Structure 1
Amino acid sequence: MDTSTDFRIFVVDDDEFCLNLYRQHLTKQGYKDIKTFQNGAECLIELTDNPDVIFLDHGMHDLSGIEVLKKIKRFNPDIYVVFISGQEDIETAVSALKFGAFDYIVKGDLQLEGMTKVLLKIAEIKELLKKNNPNFFRKFFSFI
């Protein structure tokens, strides 16, 4: 993976307007491999496509974001899951991070900027891990 725009990105939100907004924003940022899902179950079925990053809405109708996050992490703990939520609730954010979310973005005026920043942060981390110790996460998670 040469640049962060090579990421395979999944976006999961039951609000079609948000899905389109996120897709347009990511496309403008140069990302090409983007799949959108209107519920967590659809996303879980497609995990074999090996996404690098999943932007996951917290409040969905079929499965909660936390339930989906747990299943994603059981499938592949190396997937970066970023919560996007309309809830500015500390307990929700802490719970998401406790179960393996990489970051938590609150929906609002700065959410698109937040998405861009978190993708750059993930790209930087992946590059550092690749340079320093490509098998670090596998070794780390084998102890857990």
Structure 2
Amino acid sequence: MENENKIKLFLVDDDALFLKSLEIEFMENADFTIETFATGELCIAQLSNNPDIIILDYQLDGIDQTAMNGIETLDKIKAFNPNIPVVMLSSQDKIEVAVNCMHHKAFDYVVKSETAFMRLQKIISAIFEYRKMKKELNWYMDRM
């Protein structure tokens, strides 16, 4: 019962150290139910668990060179449920990468750095604020 009110967060990254540090940061600083995955394939296999938000690495080829990359995984997530917000992570600080992610319907793009966790927290807050405003707007529009 307790987990029903928690935000369900999927973290997907092939860098085990970064993935674990991100998981620890979220566990220590927020009330989330967290599932971690080293590959896009593992994440896709668990989408029926209905995550509220997915934080997804752009590369995903550190463990298996033939694994799906972040964009392929993003496309499959959006095909499964276009309403799941996906925040892309990458060590690449290139505008082309960010634009490509947004073109594939990522909610946002964050460069891996020492401030990445703070940025992710702000983005997650913005996602839920946006959902709240959208719900209120729909409520008002239904009454007109």
Category of TM-score, reference length = shorter chain: 0.7 to 0.9
SS of 1:133's equivalent? helix
Question: Match of 2:127?
Answer: 122
Match of 2:56 in 1: 56
Equivalent pairs, count: 131
The answer as to 2:79 corresponding to 1:104 is no
| Structure 2 gap ranges (5+) | 62-66
Give me the whole-angstrom Cα distance separating, in 1, the residues matched to 2:32 and 2:115: 22
- Give, in angstroms, the shift of residue 28 of structure 1: 1.7
Which residue of 1 is the match for residue 64 of structure 2?
Answer: none
CA apart distance, 1:27: 1.0
- SS across alignment from 2:109: strand
Q: CA deviation at 1:31?
A: 2.4
Q: Percent identity?
A: 37
Task: Report the aligned-residue RMSD.
Answer: 1.5
What secondary structure, in the 3-state scheme, does the structure 1 residue paired with 2:34 have?
A: strand
Normalised by the length of structure 1, the TM-score is: 0.87
Using structure 2 for the length normalisation, give the TM-score: 0.87
Q: Name 1:139's counterpart in structure 2.
A: none
Q: Does 1:26 align with 2:31?
A: no
Letter in 1 for 2:124: L
Q: Tell which structure's C-alpha radius of gyration is larger.
A: 2
Show CA shifts across 1:6-48 (max 9, x none). 3210000001111111111111222231100000000000001
Distance of 1:77 and 1:102 partners within structure 2: 11
Gaps of 5+ in 1: 137-144
Letter in 2 for 1:86: S
SS at match of 2:68: coil
- The 3-state SS of whatever aligns with 1:108 is coil
Aligned structure 1 segments of 4 or more residues deviating by more than 3 angstroms: none
1:122 aligned partner, one-letter code:
I
Amino acid in structure 2 at the alignment position of 1:46: Q
Structure 1 residue 85 corresponds to structure 2 residue 90: yes
Task: Confirm whether residue 68 of structure 1 aligns to residue 87 of structure 2.
Answer: no
For the residues of structure 1 that align with 2:105 and 2:86, how far apart are their CA atoms?
A: 7
